């Protein structure tokens, strides 16, 4: 059974493990460049929002481009830092900082901030053709927006998303971040998400270029206002309107650090139970599935004998082989592949902790705001 699971994952699940859906190539667009407005929801992001604003206002984009920072009731100098970053570039006229309004009870915080940015963009004359939803810890290479738009225009995508390259410097990051990307692609094979004939849909919230008219046609941000996993919810919403695309990238990076295991745990626990639709039965099934897929090969290798031991070892090696392209993408040794069972076991613990935090009324915790119960109201 263990071997069959890994043969299925390697052969029949969109070959997710090869990590081939990327934006490595240079694209060109021969028509007029559409207008783009970037929307950055920012809550207590003074340490990083300046770099994000600088990287966006420094884009070599030939169309009209502006940036909106929605200061989501920050308790630090987020708004001031954003304005100072634009002023140093002499591009204050291309930045708007909106003071965020009080969060309604039926919205999650990030989506409510994004909604305010969308509403402001809709009132621009003329309104932008595209909206770039991005986070306040994302840094863009100078050609990133041009490449996003060229891909979207050439292929008619209503949503073009990049899985930004996450910070991977500390021991905790090297241990958990590549596995996070690996697991995400396993859940949402990018090749399937990029195939309009399949129902699978996925996006990465750090970088999502959305056609504004398609978003309006789909019902706007209000249609997913209670979603905690907002990026994939938006992808599902928009795939019903037209084709979408998601891929890995070297052009766009996250500068948010995760220096300790506790930081990784908090990141995973924020949304893991929401991914399971707050279902205890799905939680139990997930734990059993993870144990069978990742832990059982090691148990068989160590404690079994004969054919069972050989098959367990073979499955463990297949697992390590499957993990190798993601490790290579992050510049890490292939030996980390042998540790994937232990890493997966810790992700199991984080998932259980996510359910525990939800039971305490602290689900979806972000910058002092618990949001998980919002989704249960929808």
Per-residue pLDDT, 195 = 98
Q: Rounding to the nearest 10 degrees, give the CA dihedral for residues 196, 139, 40, 35.
A: -60
Q: Name the band, by pLDDT with cuts 50, 70 and 90, for residue 365.
A: low
Residue 366 has pLDDT above 70, yes or no: no
Mean pLDDT of 325-345: 97
Give the start-to-end residue ranges of the domains of the chain: 2-14+262-376, 18-259
Res 179: pLDDT: 98
Whole-number pLDDT of residue 364: 67
- Say what the pLDDT of residue 374 is: 57
The Cβ-side half-sphere exposure at 376, using a 13 Å CA radius, reads: 14
Label residue 376 by pLDDT band (50, 70, 90).
very low
Distance CA 97, CA 66 (A): 11
Q: What is the pLDDT of residue 375?
A: 47
**What pLDDT does 362 receive?**
75
Amino acid 169: pLDDT: 95
On the 0-12 / 13-18 / 19+ scale of CB atoms within 10 A, 270 is: buried
**Cα(374)–Cα(105) distance, rounded to whole angstroms?**
7
The pLDDT confidence band at residue 80, using thresholds 50, 70 and 90, is very high
Please tell me whether residue 124 adopts helix, strand or coil conformation: coil
Of the options 2.40.50.100, 2.40.110.10, 3.90.550.10, 3.40.50.720, the CATH number for the domain spanning 18-259: 3.90.550.10
d(CA 63, CA 368): 38
Q: What percent of the chain has pLDDT over 70?
A: 96
pTM above 0.75, yes or no: yes
Q: How far apart are CA 286 and CA 120, in angstroms?
A: 41
**Mean pLDDT computed over 167-192:** 97
Q: What is the average pLDDT across 313-322?
A: 97
DSSP string, 138-200: EEE-TTHHHHHHHHHHHHT-SEEEEEEEPP--SHHHHHHHHHHHHHHHHHS-HHHHT-TTS--
Tokens of 80: 């001031």
């Amino acid at each position: 059974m263990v071997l069959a699971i890994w043969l299925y994952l390697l052969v029949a699940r969109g070959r997710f493990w090869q990590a081939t859906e990327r934006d490595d190539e240079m694209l060109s667009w021969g028509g007029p460049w559409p207008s783009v407005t970037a929307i950055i929801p920012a809550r207590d992001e003074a340490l990083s929002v300046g770099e994000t604003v600088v990287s966006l206002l420094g884009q070599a984009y030939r169309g009209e481009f502006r940036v909106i920072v929605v200061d989501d009731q920050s308790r630090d100098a987020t708004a001031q830092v954003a304005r100072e970053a634009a002023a140093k570039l002499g591009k204050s006229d291309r930045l708007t900082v909106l003071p965020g309004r009080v969060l309604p009870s039926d919205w999650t915080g990030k989506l409510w901030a994004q909604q305010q940015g969308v509403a402001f963009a809709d009132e621009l004359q003329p309104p932008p053709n595209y909206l770039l939803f991005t986070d306040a810890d994302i840094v863009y290479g100078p050609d990133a927006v041009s490449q996003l738009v060229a891909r979207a225009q050439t292929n008619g995508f209503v949503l073009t998303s990049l899985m930004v390259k996450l910070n991977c410097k500390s021991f905790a990051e090297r241990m958990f971040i590549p596995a996070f990307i690996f697991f995400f692609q396993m859940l949402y094979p990018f090749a399937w998400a990029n195939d309009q004939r399949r129902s699978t849909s996925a996006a990465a919230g750090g970088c999502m270029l959305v056609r504004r008219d398609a978003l309006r046609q789909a019902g706007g941000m209000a249609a997913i206002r209670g979603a905690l996993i907002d990026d994939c919810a938006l992808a599902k919403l928009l795939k019903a309107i037209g084709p979408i695309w998601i891929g890995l990238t070297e052009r766009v990076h996250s500068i948010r650090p995760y220096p300790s295991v506790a930081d990784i745990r908090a990141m995973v626990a924020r949304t893991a139970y929401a991914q399971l639709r707050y279902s205890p039965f799905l939680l139990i099934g997930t734990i059993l599935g993870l144990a069978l897929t990742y832990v059982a090969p090691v148990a068989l290798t160590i404690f079994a004998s004969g054919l069972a031991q050989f098959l367990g070892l073979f499955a463990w090696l297949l697992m390590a082989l499957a993990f190798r392209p993601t490790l290579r993408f992050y510049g890490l040794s292939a030996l980390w592949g042998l540790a994937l069972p232990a890493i997966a076991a810790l992700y199991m613990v984080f998932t259980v902790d996510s359910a525990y935090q939800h039971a305490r009324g602290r689900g979806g915790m972000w910058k002092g705001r618990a949001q998980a119960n919002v989704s249960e109201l929808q």
